[in-house]
């Protein structure tokens, strides 16, 4: 490692290289229950050339590289189990260009989504993908993040027009173009988005943005049962109402919200909703939605148009994970994340809630139900081996239930190490194609090694 650090020092300034214990510790973990592991060194590139140089050093000394945004991913993605170099992109945080007429923006990977939206607001624009956490655009592209607005605007993969990527050997490629569509060549944007730092490092991203809607209405609706709430969502979608957000929160989670965010929301299965458009259209959409909800015994519908009230509502929803963390000091969070076809959603959520009740640890169910995507958030005692084992079993049961119904083991959080055990079952022979792609682009297995595709499958249990 001494030689690696000497080689890094030949090109990078002192403030760009750290072996400080606290800095390494900050880059050894994510926000969840996954086992931590310290990197040997953390580097902070400022340019694409710096990243290219770091890649070359990694190849020369066969040292693993783990890219790092803000470390808000939830399945151990950024934990450097093979140690080596962590590349923190926080110094590459410039908004390079806003092309207002093209509705495009080019950014460095360390720009966070809140930073971007603050700047875009000056132009009457906004970036749609909202994973709750104030993540970096590089990290969001690398995990194919999505969130509350995906039901209307799509996932991260839908927003990426072009990526500048530094490959394992230090060479630099562009994966797309500025055009809104293209039939030219393989879809490299699609391949690199969601690659979780295993195929290359993104150094620039060109992303699609939207005009801020003329009118926005947010709402909360409560139901006597979880089934009725979810069935209402299915009917809203089937009716073709262009809803912009529709989030399910169960009763246990409403209690957490009320305590943490000082709200007094009714403790019932709840939908948080949002509608974007012009005033006349929205009035019709909201009225039609209310009508549908009445068929499912909706017993309370409260809408807000005022900016501050809407922000308060969504802050309360976004802070839910932190509400659980603060409410259960000493415990660690496990967040399952499955997505199923919308027709399977109600039964999947009921199954998960029943399994959670059997598990008997604090937790709740929430989700971007408009996408058929839901999470079980549970708080576990890491000193209790039996509880961890049972929580893993619970996680597995929820995943297998989704896979058996044509779903996926992760709708948005990604694979990291947490969802690796399910890759073969979900992808079958297609996993071997992914392994071949990994070998072609990273023959020495140095880029975030042993994440997503396990090159040596038999070592999985030792790592995880």
Ligand X SMILES: Cc1cc2nc3c(=O)[nH]c(=O)nc-3n(C[C@H](O)[C@H](O)[C@H](O)COP(=O)(O)OP(=O)(O)OC[C@H]3O[C@@H](n4cnc5c(N)ncnc54)[C@H](O)[C@@H]3O)c2cc1C
Residue 393 contacts residue 361 (beta carbons within 8 Å): no
- Minimum CB separation of residue 78 from ligand X in Å reads 5
Cβ closest to ligand X, residue 282 vs residue 414: 414
Is 133 a residue that touches ligand X (CB under 6 A)?
Answer: yes
Task: Give the x/- contact pattern for ligand X in 443-462, rule: CB under 6 A.
Answer: -----x--------------
Cα–Cα distance measured from residue 453 to residue 357, given in angstroms and rounded to the nearest whole number? 33
Cβ proximity to ligand X, 84 vs 197, nearer residue: 197
* H or E element, residue 183: none
Q: Which is nearer to ligand X, 234 or 448 (CB)?
A: 448
Q: What six digits make up the tokens of 378? A: 């549970």
Size of the chain, expressed as the number of residues it contains: 464
Residues in a beta bridge with 314: none
- Work out whether 109 is an interface residue with ligand X (CB under 6 A): yes
Looking from the CA of 12 toward its CB, the CA atoms found within 13 Å total 29
* Residue 206 half-sphere exposure toward CB, CA atoms < 13 A: 19
Any idea what DSSP says for residue 65?
E
Nearer Cβ to ligand X (90/231): 90
**Shortest CA distance to 350 belongs to which of 247, 238, 230?**
230
- The span from the CA of 255 to the CA of 314, in Å, is 16
Applying CB under 6 A, the span of 63-71, 95-103, 120-128, 278-286 interacting with ligand X comes to 63-71
Kindly state whether residue 367 participates in binding ligand X, applying the rule CB under 6 A.
no
Q: Is 39 in the site for ligand X (CB under 6 A)?
A: no
Mark 72-101 with x for binding to ligand X (rule: CB under 6 A) and - for no binding: xxx--xx----------x------------
Judge contact between 399 and 336, C-beta under 8 A: yes
Query: Restricting to residues 404-423, which ones interact with ligand X according to CB under 6 A?
Result: 412-413
Are 245 and 152 a contacting pair, CB within 8 Å? yes
Read off the DSSP letter of residue 220.
E
The CB-of-138 to ligand X minimum distance in angstroms stands at 3
The contact mask relative to ligand X for 288-327 (x = CB under 6 A, - = no) is ---------------------------------x------
Inter-CA distances, 226 with 75, 295, 353, 417, Å: 27, 14, 9, 31
How many residues belong to the site for ligand X (CB under 6 A)? 35
* Closer residue to ligand X (CB): 7 or 321: 321
CB-nearer residue toward ligand X: 136 or 162: 136
Q: Which of 26, 24, 34 is nearest to 416 (CA)?
A: 34
Sequential DSSP letters for 104-161 = EEEE-TT-BHHHHHHHHHTTTEE-----SS--BHHHHHHTT---TTHHHH--HHHHEE
We find the least distance from the C-beta atom of residue 442 to ligand X, in angstroms, to be: 12
Shortest distance, CB of residue 144 to ligand X, whole angstroms?
Answer: 7
Name which of residues 321 to 360 contact ligand X (CB under 6 A): 321
Indicate whether 248 belongs to the interface with ligand X (CB under 6 A).
no
> Applying CB under 6 A, which of residues 67, 269, 363, 449 lies at the interface with ligand X?
67
**Candidates 144-152, 169-177, 206-214, 431-439 — which segment interacts with ligand X by CB under 6 A?**
144-152
CB of 340 to ligand X, least distance (A): 16
How many Cα neighbours within 13 Å face the side chain of 399?
22
DSSP-derived 3-state class of residue 423: helix
* Cα separation, 148 vs 285, whole angstroms: 18
Q: Which of residues 4-33 bind ligand X (CB under 6 A)?
A: 31
Q: How far is the CB of 413 from ligand X (least distance, A)?
A: 5
Cα distances (Å, whole numbers) of residue 79 to 24, 199, 205, 382: 11, 16, 24, 17
136 is an interface residue for ligand X by CB under 6 A: yes
Q: How far is the CB of 135 from ligand X (least distance, A)?
A: 3
Taking CB atoms, the residue at the shortest distance from ligand X is: 139
Task: Check residue 202 for interaction with ligand X (CB under 6 A).
Answer: yes
- Residue ranges that bind ligand X, judged by CB under 6 A: 31, 66-74, 77-78, 89, 109, 131-133, 135-136, 138-140, 142-143, 145-147, 196-197, 201-202, 321, 412-413, 448
């Amino acid at each position: 490692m001494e030689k690696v650090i000497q080689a890094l020092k030949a090109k990078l300034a002192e403030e760009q290289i750290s072996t400080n214990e606290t800095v390494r510790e900050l880059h050894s973990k994510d926000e969840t229950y996954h086992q931590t592991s310290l990197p040997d060194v953390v580097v902070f590139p400022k340019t694409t050339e710096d990243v290219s140089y770091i890649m070359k050093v990694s190849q020369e000394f066969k040292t693993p590289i783990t890219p790092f945004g803000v470390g808000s991913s939830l399945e151990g993605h950024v934990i450097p189990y093979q140690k080596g170099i962590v590349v923190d992109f926080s110094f590459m945080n410039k908004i390079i260009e806003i092309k207002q007429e093209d509705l495009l923006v080019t950014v460095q990977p360390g720009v966070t989504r809140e930073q971007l939206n603050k700047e875009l607001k000056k132009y009457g624009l906004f970036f749609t993908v909202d994973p709750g956490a104030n993540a970096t655009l590089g990290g969001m592209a690398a995990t194919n993040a999505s969130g509350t607005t995906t039901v209307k605007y799509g996932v991260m993969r839908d927003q990426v027009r072009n990526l500048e990527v530094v490959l394992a050997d230090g060479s630099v490629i562009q994966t797309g173009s500025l055009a809104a569509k293209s039939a030219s060549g393989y879809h490299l944007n699609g391949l690199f988005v969601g690659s979780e730092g295993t195929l290359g490092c993104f150094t620039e991203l060109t992303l699609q943005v939207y005009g801020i809607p003329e009118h926005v209405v947010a709402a909360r609706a409560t139901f006597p049962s979880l089934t009725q709430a979810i069935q209402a969502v299915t009917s809203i979608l089937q009716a073709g109402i262009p809803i912009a957000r529709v989030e399910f929160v169960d009763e246990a989670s409403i209690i957490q919200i009320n305590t943490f965010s000082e709200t007094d929301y009714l403790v019932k299965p709840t939908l948080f909703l949002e509608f974007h458009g012009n005033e006349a259209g929205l009035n019709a959409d909201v009225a039609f939605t209310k009508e549908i909800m009445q068929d499912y015994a909706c017993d309370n519908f409260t809408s807000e148009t005022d900016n501050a009230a809407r922000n308060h509502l969504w802050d309360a929803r976004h802070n839910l994970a932190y509400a659980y963390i603060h409410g259960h000091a000493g415990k660690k969070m496990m967040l399952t994340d499955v997505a199923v076809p919308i027709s399977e959603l109600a039964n999947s959520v009921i199954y998960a809630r029943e399994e959670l009740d059997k598990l008997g640890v604090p937790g709740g169910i929430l989700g971007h139900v408009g996408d058929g995507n839901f999470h079980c958030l549970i708080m576990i005692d890491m000193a209790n081996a039996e509880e961890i084992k049972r929580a893993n079993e619970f996680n597995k049961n929820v995943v297998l239930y989704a896979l058996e119904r044509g779903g996926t083991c992760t709708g948005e959080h990604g694979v990291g190490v947490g969802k690796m055990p399910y890759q073969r079952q979900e992808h079958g022979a297609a996993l071997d194609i992914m392994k071949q792609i990994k070998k072609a682009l990273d023959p020495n297995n140095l880029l975030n090694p042993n994440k997503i595709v396990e090159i040596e499958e038999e070592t999985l249990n030792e790592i995880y």
